[in-house]
Amino acid sequence: MAALIFSTTLTMQAYRQDFIRFAVAQKVLRFGEFQTKAGRLSPYFFNSGLFQDGAALRDLCLFYAQAILASNVEFDMLFGPAYKGIPLASGTAIALAGQGRNVPYCFNRKEAKDHGEGGMTIGAALQGRVLIIDDVISAGTSVRASIELIRAAGAEPCGVVIALDRMERGQGELSAVQEVQRNYGIPVVSISTLDDLLGYLQGEPEMVQNLQTVQSYRDRYGVKND
């Protein structure tokens, strides 16, 4: 796939559905029947771990950068929670620098290192307003751990950026994304959402069956738009 070049004049809808198209082409977003952690049978599955080469990671992080710049969230640095957040934060820092926004970044270790440089994080020191870069929010466990780590360092978590918001209810009426926003009072920015996926499918006549099943799933398990 050719390198993506973004313009600040791109509409939000354009880059959101471009991302869905990119994920489908990379076979990261698949259609069929998949069981979720909640035990539901989902007609689609998104696995960011399938972005497995340099070109795909480059383009993925360009989408992250575009979503961040379009969100107008004020931040001073990026943080990537181990493990999936490590390449995402690193690559997004590079993509942002290419867009004229050079910011520091860091990521954490799963276990503290007691020799060498030591500590729980690698990269820039956590300070100022910290934007968390992750792939998805499921139960919110990774976000909670990241926020605790950032606050313990005396910094301020200012938001979370994810690739896809499934817009799906958890145990209650709220989605995992909505729960994070409510519990921590910070915005969650997504490159795309389930509604963007439906918009993409509506424009693909050969995917009419997938449109019907995804819409039925949205009707049954989806949350209301904020």
Task: For residue 144, name the pLDDT band (cuts at 50, 70, 90).
Answer: very high
Task: For residue 219, name the pLDDT band (cuts at 50, 70, 90).
Answer: very high
Query: Which of 37, 84, 115, 224 does the annotation list as catalytic?
Result: 115
What's the pLDDT score for residue 190? Answer: 97
Task: For residue 8, name the pLDDT band (cuts at 50, 70, 90).
Answer: very low
Residue 147 clears pLDDT 60, i.e. is over it: yes
Task: Quote the pTM value.
Answer: 0.89
DSSP one-letter string for 71-134: HT---SEEEE-TTTHHHHHHHHHHHHHHTT----EEEEEEEEE-STT-EEEEESPP-SEEEEE-
* 113 in catalytic set: yes
Domains, in order of start, for the chain: 12-221 (3.40.50.2020)
Residue 40 clears pLDDT 80, i.e. is over it: yes
Cα separation, 139 vs 158, in Å, equals 19
Query: Which of 27, 84, 113, 224 does the annotation list as catalytic?
Result: 113
* 115 in catalytic set: yes
Number of H helices, E strands in the chain: 7, 8
Helix (H) or strand (E) run with residue 190 in it: strand 188-193
The amino acid present at 128, given as its one-letter code, is G
pLDDT tens-digit series, residues 171-196:
789 999 999 999 999 999 999 999 99
pLDDT tens-digit series, residues 105-143:
999 987 665 544 557 899 999 999 999 999 998 877 889
Q: What share of the chain is helix, strand, coil (3-state, %, to 5)?
A: 40, 25, 35
